[in-house]
Amino acid sequence: MTASYKKYILNFKRPSGTSRGVLTEKETWFLKISDGDNFGIGECGILRSLSHDDRPDYEDKLKWVCNNINLGEEMLWEELREFPSIQFGVEMAFKSLNAKDPFLLFPSAFTFGEKTIPINGLIWMGDKQFMKEQISEKIEAGFNCIKLKIGAIDFNTELDLLESIREDFSEKEIELRVDANGAFTPKDALRKLNLLSKFQLHSIEQPVKQGQINEMANLCRKTPLPIALDEELIGITDVTEKENLIQTIKPQFAIFKPSLIGGFRGTEEWKNICETNDVQWWVTSALESNIGLNAIAQYTFTLNSELPQGLGTGGLYTNNFESPLEVYNGNIQYNPAKKWEINF
């Protein structure tokens, strides 16, 4: 068996704002393995300043994986606990290698084109007009669940935006999620949550920065609206530590990004712990190319979640790969008649 990797820069169609800054490009690496007759491809992607494995020796570890690919998926995954995105790429590549079609990792009614996955429409941060334009576009496109990134512009302006949505659409018509990406301080978080709760929100993701476990636990006890952990899960690789985190904070929801939490196996660990502790969850992509998004979407369908998932990021880039994935009427679907076009 042989393995190689290639770096690829994904370019955003337009700058996309979060509370951590504006994104114009996204780095990713593709891991290709071959046994002579067949090949498999996996995606290893990091988010700068967020991924646990955003570190100087990242490519050195990729080289190590390629040199030691014959250790096999199980042993490699254990050796890569400090590199969750490479864990994901390795899992994906082996599943791809062992599949009849390298892009059909989890054959199902989804990949047969028979069923779809409901997703949320993502609204990026920007000035009020830009955000209103995005909201209108998502509603016209048939989304009934919208997720807004908040925390970068004036908070009162964000409240005005939410109020304007609720003036036109009730809670039954449009489900609203907001993602603060840790933008609130523990001191003002509860006050802001109380103000946000007036708009019948489904949930708020990561109101305060990760690592403030006692503060987050206190918020989850007192909150007037459901809180979803996101960044809080990143960097925790030990199963006992995962259990302690969920049992201490007691969140209402958790969000799983396979690239950031150790791939499918890491996601399964978190999922089992959350379900044991009555914590609901959904799956979100982490700005992967369509190669990684394809694997995450296929896997997510097998989990049988009824909640809208966060899988609508495939259309963000100018140089993504043509794939069978399509977003239509607030759902992501797989069109078996469409072919992959890979240009690297």
Which of 32, 209, 242, 257 does the annotation list as catalytic?
A: 257
pLDDT, mean of residues 114-118:
98
Which of these, 62, 64, 3, 4, lies nearest to 35 by C-alpha position? 3
Quick one: pLDDT at residue 231? 95
Residue 45 belongs to some domain of the structure:
yes
Q: In this structure, what token pair is assigned to residue 56?
A: 């100087």
Residues 6+ away with beta carbon under 8 Å from 148: 123, 131, 135, 158, 161, 162, 176, 177, 178, 179
d(CA 76, CA 248): 31
Clarify whether residues 122 and 91 are in a common domain: no
Kindly tell me if the per-residue pLDDT of 239 is higher than 70.
Answer: yes
Above pLDDT 70, what percent of the chain?
99
Residue 121 belongs to some domain of the structure:
yes
Quick one: pLDDT at residue 196? 97
Q: Tokens 């009555």 sit at which residue?
A: 278
Quick one: pLDDT at residue 76? 98
Tell me, what CATH number does 88's domain have? Answer: 3.30.390.10
Quick one: pLDDT at residue 20? 65
Is 257 a residue of the active site?
yes
Residue 18 belongs to some domain of the structure:
yes
Q: At residue 216, what are phi and psi to the nearest 5 degrees?
A: -70, -40
Clarify whether residues 121 and 94 are in a common domain: no
d(CA 100, CA 290): 19
pLDDT tier, 116 (very low <50, low <70, confident <90, very high otherwise): very high
Q: In this structure, what token pair is assigned to residue 332?
A: 């992501």
Clarify whether residues 174 and 63 are in a common domain: no
Clarify whether residues 298 and 266 are in a common domain: yes
Clarify whether residues 186 and 41 are in a common domain: no
Count of CB atoms within 10 A of residue 165's CB?
A: 21
Q: What is the mean pLDDT of the chain?
A: 94
Quick one: pLDDT at residue 230? 96
Residue 6 belongs to some domain of the structure:
yes
Kindly tell me if the per-residue pLDDT of 87 is higher than 70.
Answer: yes
Residues 6+ away with beta carbon under 8 Å from 206: 179, 180, 181, 182, 228, 229, 230, 231, 232
pLDDT, mean of residues 163-174:
91
Tell me, what CATH number does 329's domain have? Answer: 3.20.20.120
Quick one: pLDDT at residue 49? 87
Is 222 a residue of the active site?
no
The model's pLDDT over 171-180, given as tens digits with 9 standing for 90+, comes to 999 999 999 9
Clarify whether residues 304 and 172 are in a common domain: yes
Would you mind telling me the total number of residues written for the chain in this entry?
Answer: 344
Quick one: pLDDT at residue 14? 83
pLDDT, mean of residues 31-43:
95
Sheet architecture: strand order including 227-229:
121-123, 145-149, 175-179, 203-205, 227-229, 253-256, 280-283
Quick one: pLDDT at residue 15? 78
Clarify whether residues 268 and 298 are in a common domain: yes
Clarify whether residues 124 and 50 are in a common domain: no
pLDDT, mean of residues 68-79:
97
Q: How many domains does the chain have?
A: 2
Counting Cβ atoms within 10 Å, is residue 62 exposed (0-12), middle (13-18) or buried (19+)? buried
Which range of residues forms the domain containing residue 39?
2-98
Q: Which long-range contacts (CB under 8 A, 24 or more apart) does 336-344 make?
A: 336/111, 336/112, 336/113, 337/113, 340/103, 342/291, 344/6, 344/8, 344/30
The model's pLDDT over 294-339, given as tens digits with 9 standing for 90+, comes to 999 999 999 999 999 999 877 889 999 999 999 999 999 999 999 9
Counting Cβ atoms within 10 Å, is residue 32 exposed (0-12), middle (13-18) or buried (19+)? buried
Residue 340 belongs to some domain of the structure:
no
Residue 158 belongs to some domain of the structure:
yes
Clarify whether residues 151 and 297 are in a common domain: yes
Residue type at position 18? T
Kindly tell me if the per-residue pLDDT of 96 is higher than 80.
Answer: yes
Quick one: pLDDT at residue 315? 86
Clarify whether residues 90 and 156 are in a common domain: no
Which of 138, 149, 192, 209 does the annotation list as catalytic?
A: 149
Kindly tell me if the per-residue pLDDT of 59 is higher than 90.
Answer: yes
Quick one: pLDDT at residue 22? 79
Kindly tell me if the per-residue pLDDT of 131 is higher than 90.
Answer: no
Residue 249 belongs to some domain of the structure:
yes
Q: What is the DSSP letter of 232?
A: G
Quick one: pLDDT at residue 19? 58
